[in-house]
Amino acid sequence: MTTKNSQELFDKAKNYIPGGVNSPVRAFRAVGGNPLFIKSAKGAYLYDEDGNAFIELINSWGPMILGHANELVEKAVADAIQLGFSYGAPTRREVEMAELITSIVPSVEKVRMVNSGTEATMSAIRVARGYTGRDKIIKFEGCYHGHGDSFLIAAGSGAITFGHPDSPGVTKGVANDTLTAPYNDLAAVQTLVDANQGQIACIILEPVVGNMGLVKPAEGFLEGLRQICDKEGIVLIFDEVMTGFRLAKGGFQERCGVTPDMTTMGKIIGGGMPVGAYGGKKEIMDCVSPAGPVYQAGTLSGNPIAMAAGQAMLTYLNEHPEVYERIETVGNTLTSGIRANMQKLGLNYTLNHVGSMFTLFFTDKPVNNFEDAKSSDTALFGKFFNAMLKRGIYMAPSQYEAMFISTALTDEHVAQILDASYESFQEILA
Ligand code: PMP
């Protein structure tokens, strides 16, 4: 496989862009290589600047549930472009989108559109603080909620991949207001709540974590958080930027039956366009300006092109339950196939899986929190990643990320991924 053009572009990029990339994990540094520069994508494939094709397991970090350049979304965008790109004024589509989202996501009675997952989570905790009149928040070690100051404490995803879970540049004051607990540890949460009586505005978490690799909530964990929040008047926020409209139409909250007070959503609701949203109970959302005093705004919020893409995508998902059956089946087939391959080779790595998301951790210990995830052999992960890439499979370039399945994956693609995984295991063992 030649990657000459990507290498040239990366060398040039490093002169003009910090680290040569606009988002850290893309740099492939954790897997010891140079990033591939992508020229186009269609269906299940990514195509790079050297003409190599890769079967996709990242799907723009989640949103391309229907595969790349889906015709419906493409047409919606092409039609919308004829009508102008941005007005900074309300549109019919925003109302229709809000109506659609509130009809699908159990916790959301009112919703505000923003431009990224980061904006959604930053805004949501501001609203929770404004609503409760309290300053502190609880987050979980290894969860990632975008790059807002409050969240760059024990953060997952690229922050841990690059060894900066607590980022310089975040003031002590902000850091002091973020309390952290190990994921799946209800007792630790209770201890924090007891020690900070009447001071905690919200608990925010990924109901299934994607950002320390995939970690599932333990039996009773989400229910326990719900009870603590109800008792203490704390706002429970599910960050469903990755899991919303993916693990079930209404997000993981629909699947697990625990309803948060607020929900943050991201890239999926823009069909891949730059979009985020936060929503929740009416009485909480009515604190947001101009209905209430908590300020939050955006020139490009509810952008007509992004709304057109999102509306096409969400309408399709809403009307086609078979999408969820399909990605669930592929998730099961892929993960059981990888397990079978490991068994044949006498390997016992931990494979965590929920629906259409999974992570293979290079450790034989169960992974239920950040400490467990960190026991993975990241160098071995890097070897496996490169062995898969060489065989045309594009995985997330870090141990601390999840893989995402789209409906564009056919049974044949699945067989190719499984063959590649068998050969890659053999290669890294050799
Ligand atoms: N929350 C979660 C759970 C995420 O996974 C991400 C990004 N992957 C974000 C928030 C931030 O979203 P964005 O990158 O769009 O700012």
Question: Quick one: average pLDDT of 258-283?
Answer: 96
Mean per-residue pLDDT, 128-134:
98
Residue 116 beta carbon below 6 angstroms from any ligand 1 atom: yes
β-strand pairing of 262-265 with 276-280: antiparallel
Q: Is 71-319 in the same CATH topology as 4-69+321-429? A: no
Contact 252 CB / ligand 1 (< 6 Å):
no
Ligand 1: which atom is nearest the Cα of residue 61?
8
Q: Is the CB of 210 under 6 A from ligand 1?
A: yes
For 92-113, what is each residue's pLDDT tens digit? 999 999 999 999 999 999 999 9
Kindly state the tokens that stand for 144.
């990632």
Is 267 close to ligand 1, i.e. is its CB under 6 Å away? yes
CATH code linked to domain 4-69+321-429: 3.90.1150.10
239 lines ligand 1 (CB under 6 A): yes
Predicted complex: ipTM over 0.90 = yes
Cα 104 from chain centre: 19
Q: Is 139 in the pocket of ligand 1 (CB under 6 A)?
A: no
143 Cα nearest atom in ligand 1: 3
Span 362-389, mean pLDDT? 97
| 82 CA to centre of ligand 1 in angstroms | 30
Which atom of ligand 1 sits closest to the CA of residue 62? Answer: 8
Mutate to test the pocket of ligand 1, among 145, 157, 278 (most ligand atoms within 8 A of CB): 145
- Is the distance from the beta carbon of residue 59 to the nearest atom of ligand 1 less than 6 Å? no
Residue among 177, 96, 182 at smallest CA distance from 132: 177
How much is the pTM? 0.97
The answer, yes or no, to whether residue 163 has pLDDT greater than 80, is no
Q: Give the pLDDT band (50/70/90) at residue 166.
A: confident
C-alpha 419 – ligand 1 centre gap (Å): 31
Query: What per-residue string of b and e applies to 208-226 under the rule 16 or more CB within 10 Å gives b?
Result: bbbbbbbbbbeeebbebbb
Per-domain boundaries in the chain: 4-69+321-429, 71-319
Q: Give the residue numbers annotated as catalytic, written as ranges.
A: 144, 239, 267
Mean of the per-residue pLDDT values for the chain? Answer: 96
The residues, ordered by sequence, that sit 6+ positions from 238 with a Cβ below 8 Å of its Cβ are 107, 205, 206, 207, 251, 252, 253, 260, 262, 263, 264
Q: What percentage of the chain carries pLDDT values higher than 90?
A: 94
Closest C-alpha among 323, 342, 351 to residue 408? 323
Distance CA 308, CA 146 (A): 24
Q: pLDDT of 193-251, one tens digit each? A: 999 999 999 999 999 999 999 999 999 999 999 999 999 999 999 999 999 999 999 99
Instruction: Give residue 241 CA to ligand 1 midpoint distance, Å.
Output: 6
Distance between Cα 159 and ligand 1 center (Å): 12
Report residue 137's pLDDT band, with 50, 70 and 90 as the boundaries: very high
- Give 2: exposed, middle or buried? Use CB within 10 Å, 0-12, 13-18, 19+: exposed
Q: Is 430 exposed, middle or buried (0-12, 13-18, 19+ CB in 10 A)?
A: exposed
Q: What is the pLDDT of residues 325-349, one digit of tens each?
A: 999 999 999 999 999 999 999 999 9
Ligand 1 centroid vs 239 CA: distance in angstroms? Answer: 9
Is the separation of the CB atoms in 321 and 254 below 8 Å?
Answer: no
* Domain with residues 71-319, CATH architecture: 3-Layer(aba) Sandwich (3.40)
